[in-house]
Amino acid sequence: MNRASGPLLFAQYAYPPNALGYCGPEDSDELLEYADSAVTDRGLVAIAQRFLGAWPYLSLIAAANARDPLDADVVEAYWVGNRLLDNVPGSLLAAHLTDRFDRPLKHGAADPVGLALLGGRPHHNFHVFAVYPWTGLLRAGPAADPLRVLDSCRISWGTVVAVDNEAADVSVRPLRYDNGRLRLGEPAVRRVQSGSRGRQLVHSAQPGDLVAVHWNWICDVLTRAQVSALRETTAYLLTLVNHALGRPAVGGALEPAMPGGRRKDLSHSSGTTSSGSTVA
């Protein structure tokens, strides 16, 4: 499987929310054209830099690893997860969030800076679960809409069941919220987009392929190792958030295993946050 360049990989994952008007500049058609044609130039780099949600995380990961923000490994680390996240300690992520946001966002026990200090990671799913207000809103009333946003915005993984023109059926594990905690449900087939107006983010997706899904679009074909990294990072972040919300994960584990086998102490939290989060 040929690996996309860092800028093209960014375009693939960033296009779906950008097309919905949730983040980034008003250049969604250009992003789709770049991904479809597999062309990388300064124009694509300039578009990526205008994503106020994702770009600061890419810059943080890059600085901690002496890389460029659009290095392919850096882009993969943010959207999927890889070893580069290990070099960004929670204290650095906490400082990043403190410097970045200045509008109060009341998450209670699940404030983003506190979660960063407990072992948060500069991964897109951390931004979804911890920085957005939607997780806190689950406890405030009917959960359907916040849960839909969380499930759509996180990076999911699944298996392609069928491909039909510009749509595909993908078996994914949906996000659930019950008994005061977030978890992944049993696999279910979801109809998602694979193209629009004759253009595609990913040309090679076929039945049986493992893929990444973002806002109901197939945005990447994944290796088994990438799926494992995304699955482990997502599970870790869900355990972190569930504990911070006062609802320990099943089995009462208060120290979830970090991807790679390490463990973080969740017995202490400190810091408060303010946030002006941007959907990405």
Q: In this structure, which amino acid lies at residue 138?
A: L
What confidence score (pLDDT) does residue 63 get?
98
What confidence score (pLDDT) does residue 252 get?
34
What confidence score (pLDDT) does residue 1 get?
59
Q: Write down the H helix ranges in the chain.
A: 6-19, 28-37, 42-48, 55-65, 72-79, 90-100, 112-117, 124-126, 134-137, 144-153, 224-244
- What are 155-184's pLDDT values in tens digits? 999 999 999 889 999 999 999 998 888 999
Segment among 51-65, 69-83, 107-121, 218-232 with least mean pLDDT? 107-121
Mean pLDDT value across residues 71-83 = 98
Q: In this structure, which amino acid lies at residue 153?
A: C
- What are 22-47's pLDDT values in tens digits? 888 887 899 999 999 999 999 999 99
What confidence score (pLDDT) does residue 256 get?
42
- Say if CB 77 and CB 10 are below 8 A apart: no
Q: Please, which residues have CB within 8 angstroms of residue 187's CB and are 6 or more apart in sequence?
A: 158, 171, 172, 173
Q: Is the pLDDT confidence value at 20 over 50?
A: yes
Interatomic CA distance for residues 30 and 26, integer angstroms: 9
- What are 97-132's pLDDT values in tens digits? 988 876 544 444 468 888 998 899 999 999 999 887
Q: What is the mean pLDDT of the chain?
A: 84
Interatomic CA distance for residues 42 and 8, integer angstroms: 12
**Banded pLDDT at 54 (limits 50, 70, 90):** very high
Q: Is the pLDDT confidence value at 70 over 90?
A: yes
**pLDDT-above-70 percentage for the chain:** 81
Interatomic CA distance for residues 180 and 200, integer angstroms: 38
Mean pLDDT value across residues 7-22 = 95
Q: Rounded to the nearest 5°, which phi and psi values hold at 223?
A: -80, 170
Question: Between these two residues, 22 and 261, which has the higher pLDDT value?
Answer: 22
Interatomic CA distance for residues 153 and 124, integer angstroms: 9
Interatomic CA distance for residues 239 and 243, integer angstroms: 6
Beta bridge partners of 188: 172
What confidence score (pLDDT) does residue 42 get?
94
